[in-house]
Amino acid sequence: MILDAKLRLTALALLSVLLLSGCQKPFPSASAKPLSKTGFLLGTIVEITVYDKKDEALLDKAFERIQEIEGRMTINNAENSEIISLNQASGKNEVKLSPDTYYVVERGKEYSHKSGGLFDITIGPVVKLWNIGTDYAAVPEKNKLEEAAGLVDYSKLSLNPGNHTAFLEEPGMQVDLGSIAKGYAADEAARILKESGVEHAIINLGGNVITIGGNPNGNPWRIGIQTPSNPRGDFLGIVQIQDQAVVTSGTYERYFEENGKIYHHILNPFTGYPVENNLSSVSIITGKSIDGDGISTTVLLMGLEEGMKLVESLENVEAVFITNDKGVYISSGLKNNFKITNSDYKYRNNGE
């Protein structure tokens, strides 16, 4: 989970846009000014902003929790990573996991099953070959990619809920929680703040945004949806939320160019190559960030038609789909709660 300098700047720009769009009008007094902390964790810019409690120790506690989750679930050279230990034991033996890691692996496997394997947390061998988001990104050799894709199979990830163990049945298999751990970390940070009495806050993990309550003026938060074609973090529309999460998956988030072709990080586990279906991003609005993570990646891989069908079948889940030709498609529950602010983008379904 490493971002290069360009991607860090992109994430920071997006963060600023999202938080600036969070308040509908100025705060009424100096006492309402927020307390904020920023850091770099889970491969992205993290910012937590609290509006009703001036407690720096509480922010520190939330950041420590995110760091703890990163240490357990990263696949990037962490001595105490349980996922690295699980991957190293593939085909050999089961590995005991902490309740945290077991829960996220279990939820990841659930989404893998629900998507028919289109979203698959055992995609690690393919991700490692591409190295997208690092200085070593390159198109893999076809035979090596086929071999890696052959190791992707969530059904061969065995879980034992009785003792919180996991086992990868084939040597070389690898779990990668990069598509879902960030959402869990955001949810955990929100839990810590809520348990300490916070009623108004925004938690942003590089575009995974979760809100606590509404803003201090009694209105919903106004959250900007990123413009895929603009790397500086401009937004194309605004959704209003309260006690909800907005999670975006996009082909513009991490990518590299080779021989004039762009390769992004949303990989199809069946082919091993980046998905190509005319979608540039999907933003999911739901109650928990971990669900937003799983659903956003799943529906982006499914494509517009099948992805929209899935969203409409789920309770308390809404979505904004952006196509490569600047079309905007929204789920039925957002008809009166999403406003396009960039005239280059047009509704293509029931937005008007």
Greater confidence (232 vs 296) lies with: 296
- CB atoms < 10 A from the CB of 333, how many? 15
Q: Where are the domains of the chain?
A: 5-70+199-347, 75-168
For the residues 141-166, what does the mean pLDDT come to? 96
pLDDT of residue 329: 97
End-to-end, the C-alpha distance of the chain in Å comes to 39
Residue 151 predicted with pLDDT over 70: yes
For the residues 170-196, what does the mean pLDDT come to? 96
Mean pLDDT of all residues belonging to the chain: 88
For 5-70+199-347, CATH number? 3.10.520.10
Q: Where in 57-198 does DSSP place strands (E)?
A: 95-96, 157-160, 165-168
Q: Which residues of 270-299 are buried (b: 16+ CB within 10 A; e: fewer)?
A: eebbbbebebbbbbbbbebbbbbbbbbbbb
pLDDT of residue 231: 58
pLDDT of residue 5: 34
Comparing 234-238, 290-294, 326-330, the range with the smallest average pLDDT is: 234-238
Q: Which residues of 182-216 are buried (b: 16+ CB within 10 A; e: fewer)?
A: bbbbbbbbbebbeeeebebbbbbbbbbbbbbbbbb
For the residues 228-234, what does the mean pLDDT come to? 69
Query: By percentage, how much of the chain surpasses pLDDT 90?
Result: 76
In degrees and rounded to multiples of 5, residue 346 shows phi and psi of -130, 145
Domain covering 75-168: architecture: Orthogonal Bundle (1.10)
Q: Which residues of 97-123 are buried (b: 16+ CB within 10 A; e: fewer)?
A: beebbbebbebbbebbeebebbbbbbb
